[in-house]
A = this chain, B = another copy of it.
């Protein structure tokens, strides 16, 4: 995926720096975990672990299910991103509310990218299209579920946010572009990411949410 984006960048004469998106996205995910840990009065180490779980947890579950070693075990950049995120929160803690919109954008771009990475990795390993959509969603959204379990809260994405659904929509767009319309992987990835970003931004802006399930009272 990164290779593809880099090639696309070269082809479009855009600086070949898309890899930066992944690291900034990783930091944005880690910061979301570290902020929640701080609201629970975790110590620095606990906050780092929650940040790491948020940032690399989804990809770890995906990799375990696909039967490969978690991606972050052989490239220390992901751990370094999380440590930088911790230092950022320690240093700029009280300014984080002001930075809220910035990190929201990074988090959303990261979500879109992680989704595409999950889809492409799953397809490359020969799994069906529908499995790749689920794996993209897990890559993007499962880290937040682990985060909420670690801080002992009901997972946010199950109740309030349009988050995983944006991933699934992006996954459907990817599959439609790539298989149905025969677009190259680069363009499918771009359209998919665009879909995820637009849905998430609109959902937050206009307070979209899914219907609450009314079951029995048991």
Contact = CB atoms under 8 A, between A and B. Distances in A.
Interface in A204-218: 209-218
A90 to B, nearest CB: 7
A157 interface: yes
Contact of A130 (B43, B65, B76, B151): B76
Interface in A93-148: 93-94, 96-97, 100, 127-128, 130-131, 134, 145
A34 interface: yes
B218 A37 contact: no
Interface stretch (A20-28, A44-52, A180-188): A44-52
Nearest to A93: B215
A43 B211 contact: yes
A44 B213 contact: yes
A184 to B, nearest CB: 26
A25 to B, nearest CB: 20
Contact of A38 (B39, B93, B216): B216
6 contacts: A37-B213, A40-B154, A42-B213, A49-B164, A67-B68, A76-B128
